[in-house]
Amino acid sequence: MRPAPLLIALLCAWGLSGLAVLYAGMPLVAWQATGAALVLLALADAVFLWRRPTPQVSRQVPEALALDLEREVRLRIASPGRAQRLAVFDLHPGGWPSQGLPRKVAVARDEAVEFAYRLRPVARGDAWFSGVQLRLGSSLRLWRQSRVAGAPQAVRVYPDFAPLARLALFSADQASRLVGAHLKRRRGEGTDFNQMREYRVGDSLRQIDWKATSRAQKLISREYQDEKNQQLVLALDTGRRMLAREDGLAHFDHALNAALVVAYLALRQGDAAGLLATGEQPRWVPPRRGMGGIDTLLRASYDLQPAASACDYLALATELSARQRRRALVMLVTNVRDEDIEDLLAAVHLLRRRHLVCVASLREGELDQALDAEVTDLPGAIQAGAVARYLEQRAAAHDALRGHGVMVLDVTTAQLPAALVERYLAVKREGLL
C-alpha cells in the first residue's frame, strides 16, 4: 500500500496551511480539525481498498515456445462486484523483451476485459510466469496497492522449430536445397536396388541389366536409391567456446538448430538420428527411425545449455563408443583451436575404429570481417595480423585432422546447416557408411 499523488498533494497543502496558521494568526483548532479529517478520510479509504477483493486473472500462453520467436500472450481480467481501474503487468520470465506492457485497463462491474501483448523468449529451457501484478487505486484515489493475481504457469522454450515446419512441406531433396545444400547427382545413382526401367540417355553402362535386356529385347537399366536405415549421431560441444554469441544467439544455439535440421532430413531419408552431449548436462538419445524421432530430440535438448568449462573430447568419444555399437556417421559440432588438437586427435582415433567422423568447426564471423576491413593505422594492422595468425593456426589444426582421414567443415554459424546437410547427403550417396 502506497500513498497516491493526490494524498501526497493534500498532505503538502495541509502542511503549508500550517504556516499560515503560525504566521497569520488563523485558528489552530480549524487547522487541526482539517488534518484529523484528512487522516480519517485517508484511513477509511485505505481500509476499503484493503478489503476489496482481488480481480480474477487468467493467462493464455502456449506451453511450448520457440527461441527468439515472438508470440502473443493474452490476459483476461474479471472484477466481480464492482468496477475498477487497474494498471497491469504480467510477471513473465525476466529479461524477455515484451511489447504492450504495462497496460492500464478499466473493468466494468461483473464483466471481463481481455488484451494481448507480445513476448519474445531469449533463452531455452524451463521458464515461469510468476503471476500478474495489478496496481489498484482506492475509491478516493488516495492510495495505490500492488497485488499479484493469477496462478504461476510453467512454459518450455524449445529451439526454433519453425524451419522444421517449413521443411515438412517439401520433399527430402527439395528440403535439402532449401537449407542451401548443393549436391550434383544423376538419376538412378545409389547403393540399394530400387527398380528396373527402360534405358535412358545418360545411364551408365554399369546400370544395364543384360539378362533383362535379352528377355525384353530392349535395353533395361537398374535404378538404385540411397541406402536407408543408416545411423547418424550428432555430438555437440557444450564447452565454454560455445557460449560466444552471434546474431543474437549463442554458438551452441546455432549448433543445436543446425543439428535438428540435419537430423530431420536424415529421418526423412529413412535413416536413424541420435544425439550426444557430455559435460555438466549429459544427454544421450540413441538413434531411432521415424518422424517421431524429431520430437524426441526436441524434448531431450530443449533445456541443454553450454557451461563455462572446456569440452572433454576424449570423454565424449569414450562414451559414444560405449553407447553406439553400430557403425554411424558421427558429426561433432565444436570450435577447434590449435591447443585442442592433441586431445581431439585422440578422440577421433577412438571413434574411427568403428564410425565415420565429421568435425564441423565453427568460425566466428567477426574474424572474416576483421580480415576484410581496411587497415588505416597501426592498431588496425596489429589486429589484422593477429587474426591472420589465429586463422593460420586454426587451419593447421584442421589440416592435421584431415591428414588422419577426418572430414572437416570450417564454417560460420550461417553456413553450418547447409554444410552439415550437404556432407551428410554426400556420405550417403558415395556409400561411405
Q: For the chain, how many residues are written? A: 433
> How many Å apart are CA 104 and CA 77, to the nearest integer?
12
- For 254-305, what is each residue's pLDDT tens digit? 999 999 989 988 998 889 999 999 888 899 999 999 888 999 999 999 999 9
Residue 18: predicted pLDDT: 79
As a whole number, the mean pLDDT across the chain is 85
- Over residues 25-47, mean pLDDT: 85
CA separation, residue 26 to residues 14, 18, 19, 21, 135 (Å)? 13, 9, 10, 5, 40
> How many Å apart are CA 301 and CA 284, to the nearest integer?
10
Strand partners, 57: 77
Q: What percent of the chain has pLDDT over 90?
A: 44
Q: Which 3 state secondary structure label does DSSP give 130?
A: coil
> How many Å apart are CA 204 and CA 208, to the nearest integer?
7
pLDDT over 80 (residue 373): no
> How many Å apart are CA 239 and CA 303, to the nearest integer?
15
Report residue 154: phi and psi, to 5°: -100, 140
Cell triple for 59:
493467462
Q: Which of 175, 223, 183, 218 is nearest to 203 (CA)?
A: 223
Residue 386: predicted pLDDT: 85
- For 71-88, what is each residue's pLDDT tens digit? 999 999 998 888 888 999
- Over residues 124-132, mean pLDDT: 92
Residue 410 pLDDT class (50, 70, 90 cuts): very high
